[in-house]
Amino acid sequence: GSGEGDKFVKWLLDEISEKEKEAERSLMH
């Protein structure tokens, strides 16, 4: 159902934001 899709989208966005944070940290140092 759409519930599963929403969970997947939220997880995907969380994964992307985590990678962006890590990338920013690497660039800083």
* Average pLDDT taken over every residue of the chain: 92
The residue among 17 and 28 whose pLDDT is bigger is: 17
Contacts 24+ apart (CB under 8 A), 18-23: none
Predicted pLDDT at 18 = 97
Banded model confidence at residue 17, pLDDT cuts 50, 70, 90:
very high
What is the model's pLDDT at position 1? 62
Task: Kindly tell me if the per-residue pLDDT of 9 is higher than 90.
Answer: yes
pLDDT at 2: 73
Phi and psi (nearest 5°) for 14?
-65, -40
At residue 13, the pLDDT reads 98
